[in-house]
Chain A
Amino acid sequence: MNYFDTDLESLHNQLVSGELTSEELTKQTIEKIKEQNESVQAYLTINDKAIEQAKAIDEAGIDPDSIFSGIPVALKDNLVTKEMKTTAASKMLENFTSIFDATVVEKLKAAGAVFVGKTNMDEFAMGSSTENSAFATTRNPWNLDTVPGGSSGGSAATVSAGQVLASLGSDTGGSIRQPAAFTGVVGMKPTYGRVSRWGLIAFGSSFDQIGPFTRNVKDNAHLLNVIAGHDEHDATSSLKEVPDFAEGIDQGVKGLKIALPKEFLGDGVKPEIKEAIQKAAETYKSLGATVEEVSLPNTKYGVMAYYVLASSEASSNLERFDGIRYGFRAPEVKNLEDLYVKTRSEGFGDEVKRRIMIGTFSLSAGSFDKYFKQAAKVRTKIINDFQKVFKDYDLIMTPTATSTAFKIGEESSDPMEMYLNDALTIPVNLAGLPGMSLPAGFSNGLPIGLQLIGRPFDEKTIYRAGYAFEQNTDFHKQTPAL
Chain B
Amino acid sequence: MNFETTIGLEVHVELKTNSKIFSPSPVKYGVEANANTNVIDWGYPGTLPTVNKQVIANGITAALALHADISRHPHFDRKNYFYPDNPKGYQVTENDIPAARNGWIEVKTANGTKKIGIEEMHVEEDAGKNTHGKTYSYVDLNRQGTPLIEIVSKAEMSSPQEAYDYLEGLRQRIQFTGISDVKMEEGSMRVDCNISIRPVGSDKLGQKVELKNLNSFNYVRKALAYEEVRQAQVLMSGGTIGAETRRYDELNGKTYLMRVKEGKDDYRYFPEPDLPSLDISEEWINELREALPEMPESRRKRYVEDMGLTEYDAMVLTQTKEMSDFFDKLIELGSDPKMASNYLQGDVNAYLNDKQVDLADTKITPEALATMIKMIMDKTISTKMAKKVFKAITDGKNPKQFVEEKGLVQLSDPAKLQPIIDEVLAANPQSIEDFNNGKDRAIGFLVGQIMKKTQGKANPSVVNKILMESLNK
Contact = CB atoms under 8 A, between A and B. Distances in A.
A316 B268 contact: yes
B233 to A, nearest CB: 34
Given A236-B276, A363-B268, A364-B268, A102 B46 contact: yes
Contact of A235 (B49, B87, B270): B49
Interface stretch (A291-299, A322-330, A441-449): A322-330
A44 B80 CA distance: 32
B266 A325 contact: no
Contacts of A459: none
Interface in B56-79: 78
Given A316-B270, A363-B270, A233 B48 contact: yes
B39 A202 contact: no
Given A99-B39, A360-B268, A368-B270, A202 B46 contact: yes
Given A319-B80, A322-B89, A363-B80, A235 B48 contact: yes
Given A360-B268, A365-B266, A336 B137 contact: yes
B438 interface: no
A311 to B, nearest CB: 12
B48 A234 contact: yes
A206 B276 CA distance: 10
A475 interface: no
A437 interface: no
B46 to A, nearest CB: 4
Contacts of A234: 48
Nearest to A204: B273
Interface string B266-277: 101110011110
Q: Which of A96, A202, A319, A322 has the most C-beta atoms of chain B within 10 angstroms of its own C-beta?
A: A319
A419 interface: no
B133 interface: no
B46 A205 contact: no
A364 B47 contact: no
Contact of B47 (A88, A93, A198, A236): A198
How many interface residues does chain B have, given as a range? 20 to 34
A321 B90 CA distance: 12
A198 B49 CA distance: 10
A340 interface: yes
A429 to B, nearest CB: 13
A320 B274 contact: no
Given A316-B270, A319-B82, A365-B266, A325 B45 contact: no
Interface in A349-383: 360, 363-365, 368, 372
A192 to B, nearest CB: 10
B414 interface: no
Contacts of A336: 84, 137
A124 B84 CA distance: 23
A346 to B, nearest CB: 16
Nearest to B39: A100
Contacts of A88: 45
Q: Which of B39, B42, B44 has the most C-beta atoms of chain A within 10 angstroms of its own C-beta?
A: B44
B80 A325 contact: no
Contacts, number: 101
Interface string A97-111: 011101000000000
Contact of B90 (A201, A204, A316, A340): A316
Interface string B223-247: 0000000000000000000000000
B237 to A, nearest CB: 35
Interface in A185-237: 197-202, 204-206, 232-236
A207 to B, nearest CB: 9
B139 A324 contact: yes
A98 B275 CA distance: 23
A325 B46 CA distance: 14
B117 to A, nearest CB: 27
A232 B48 CA distance: 10
A401 interface: no
B355 interface: no
A322 B276 CA distance: 27
A153 B46 CA distance: 20
Interface in A289-323: 312-313, 315-316, 318-322
B45 A202 contact: yes
Interface residues of A, number: 44
A329 B141 CA distance: 19
B141 to A, nearest CB: 8
A200 B264 CA distance: 34
A2 to B, nearest CB: 32
Interface in B94-111: none
A316 B80 contact: yes
B50 interface: yes
Given A102-B46, A234-B48, A365-B266, A324 B80 contact: no
A40 interface: no
A404 B325 CA distance: 76
A80 interface: yes
Contacts of B33: none
Contacts of A99: 39, 44
B154 interface: no
B169 interface: no
B51 interface: yes
Nearest to A339: B84
A79 B80 CA distance: 25
B50 A235 contact: yes
B299 interface: no
Contact of B46 (A201, A235, A318, A319): A201
Contacts of B82: 319, 322, 340
A235 B275 contact: yes
Nearest to B40: A233
B269 to A, nearest CB: 8
Given A316-B80, A336-B137, A325 B264 contact: no
A364 B270 CA distance: 10
B206 interface: no
Contacts of A321: 45
A315 B267 CA distance: 12
Contact of B273 (A93, A206, A233): A206
Nearest to A79: B46
A365 B270 CA distance: 11
A372 B49 CA distance: 23
Contacts of B42: 325-326
A170 B326 CA distance: 59
Contacts of A315: 80, 268
Interface in A86-126: 86, 88, 93, 96, 98-100, 102
Interface string A230-259: 001111100000000000000000000000
B88 interface: yes
Contacts of A365: 264, 266, 268
A233 B276 contact: no
Contacts of A232: 50
Interface of B: 39, 42-51, 78, 80, 82, 84, 87-90, 137, 139, 264, 266, 268-270, 273-276
24 contacts: A79-B46, A86-B45, A99-B44, A199-B46, A200-B46, A201-B45, A202-B45, A233-B48, A233-B50, A235-B51, A235-B274, A236-B48, A236-B276, A313-B273, A316-B268, A319-B89, A320-B87, A320-B89, A321-B45, A322-B82, A322-B89, A340-B82, A368-B268, A368-B270
Interface of A: 79-80, 86, 88, 93, 96, 98-100, 102, 197-202, 204-206, 232-236, 312-313, 315-316, 318-322, 324-326, 336, 340, 360, 363-365, 368, 372
Given A205-B273, A363-B268, 12 more contacts: A79-B46, A86-B45, A96-B45, A205-B274, A232-B50, A319-B88, A321-B45, A324-B139, A325-B44, A325-B87, A365-B264, A372-B270
For the complex of A and B, 9 pairs with smallest distance between CB atoms: A319-B89, A363-B268, A205-B273, A206-B273, A199-B46, A320-B43, A201-B45, A80-B46, A365-B266
